[in-house]
Chains A and B, each alone.
Chain A
Amino acid sequence: MARITLENVKKSFGKVQALDGVSLDIKDKEFFVLFGPAGAGKTTILNNIAGIQVPEEGIVKFDGEIVNLVDAAHRDTAMVFENYALYPQMTVYDNMASALRSKLYKKDEDYIQKRVHEIAKMMNMDHLLERLPSQLSNGQKQRVAMGRALVRMPKVYLMDEPLAHLDAKLRNAMRTELKSIQAQFGTTSVYVTHDFMEALSLADRIAVINEGKVVQIGTGDAIYDLPVNEFVATLMGDPEINVIPGRIEKTETGYRFSMQGSGKSNDLPEDKDLFAKFEALGVEKVDLALRPQHLVYSFDPVPGYLHCTVYSYESIGNKSVIVADHEGLQLRLIAPNGLRVKIDQDVYVDTKLNYSLFFDYETKEFLARYNEAEIRKIAEPEEEEG
């Protein structure tokens, strides 16, 4: 159990700046998720916490103590590697017992046996214990890799995409299991993923990483509802958020949003705080962003709706996704499944503007959104302690 602090950590590999001044403060007992696209530097952050790599600049602290010079063996972390990193010459049992047999974390064989069986049972793999890693499927290997970490009681669990290679059913089950294990053990956990569902469902807090930098840190709600820029907004959510470029103009009663090109313009619904913010910022060109669930559509002409054509239609089980095209601007919207939709048929789309987020057109930074104060209150709970 530990609080882990990274201060301005920098790491480069040759000419590639893998980490460019990363600062994180991971609280004790927190389930902390590192989320970002491939190659963002998430694994490098984990390696720096584990002590496998040492930062070129910056400080790594465990419970306030600087551990930059402590080697990986003495940091007391347990890590799940993305490529499993199982010892090929050892059975699953010996793999899992490995750490408990090392000089540093030595336990007696009775304890090891009890503990390994307990974890194996929990992970539903007690029938695999006598096998060699080469006799396992990828999903089984991944479970063994998880199990090897879980048999220990380290200061922190470091998990690098531990569920990536499991089948969907097992992944969901393991997600739930992981959450309860973490709650039960109360061990600080740092978890790397590129799956936003995993990030949102597991995390106490999420750090969005891109190109070696921390883009945003916050609760799942904060990241989802109050993204700091368009990049974060597009990463979270599937189908992706709709971004509609346009301009806002002040009218007598409020503000008016006009889509770029030949799109239509609408009066924005009243929101005093929002309008005050627009007034203060004085921006004109904005990107209006709306989640797919906040678009409505009709296949029959409705006055005031935007005329589009169907670009693609995918049924994904409990719902379907329609991509509607308006002069090159593609809008993703959610529809019930079982529709008979033809490509290129007409579809009329309207926006629930009172859910919109606004980003700066040039910098793509977050400007404002509807109900900001209220959402902020939910998404950013008061710090319990200092």
Chain B
Amino acid sequence: MSMFRNKKLDLGGFINGKIIRDHTKRRVFEANEVERQALRYVIRNTSLPQRARAQAQLQLAQMHAYTRSTQIKNRCVAGGVARSVFRDFRLGRYQFREQALAGELPGVRKASW
């Protein structure tokens, strides 16, 4: 959503629209995480009045979709691909292969036996 987007781009490296969108979601989630956790605590706490818990449930449900962590998708840092991304290297499988064969990933070598 454009209202959440940074006025000035604060990303380096490979950039495309989907990466900007995902980065925006990450930032929005970070900004709203404490509020979400507080609401989740109120909802789970059975010692609080039922009315307060129901209100917290509603409030949590009405928060913007971008404040949800499930909206975040790990994307390849070098190509923006969303599928088969290695979490340790933050790279898609093809970028991983290319960089590994070029010797740009320390400690990675082609298996041979």
Query: Do A and B actually bind?
Result: no
